[in-house]
Amino acid sequence: MLDEAFQVLDLHRIEVGVQPHHLGSIRALEKSGFQKEGLSRQNVKINGEWKDHDLFAILSTDERPQVI
């Protein structure tokens, strides 16, 4: 999907927010080449409660792991 986003849609940057306790999601993002950029404090309200999210991003110019 990243190739499609960067080559076909000509996107420059993709950002993803994930709650810090979702370790499986974080591992998947890191394996895909996303880099952690920081913490967005209380940025999404879920079930009436403000939740923190780790911010990850990847740029079209970043090197991405080869998928086998």
Residues 6+ apart with CB under 8 A from 36: 26, 30, 54, 55, 56
pTM of whole model > 0.75? yes
Q: Where are the alpha helices (DSSP H) in 10-65?
A: 23-31
Question: Domain range for residue 17?
Answer: 2-59
Amino acid at 62: D
* 2-61 tens-digit pLDDT: 888 888 999 999 999 999 999 999 999 999 999 999 999 999 999 999 999 999 999 999
Total domains, the chain? 1
For position 11, which CATH number holds? 3.40.630.30
Residue 65: inside a domain: no
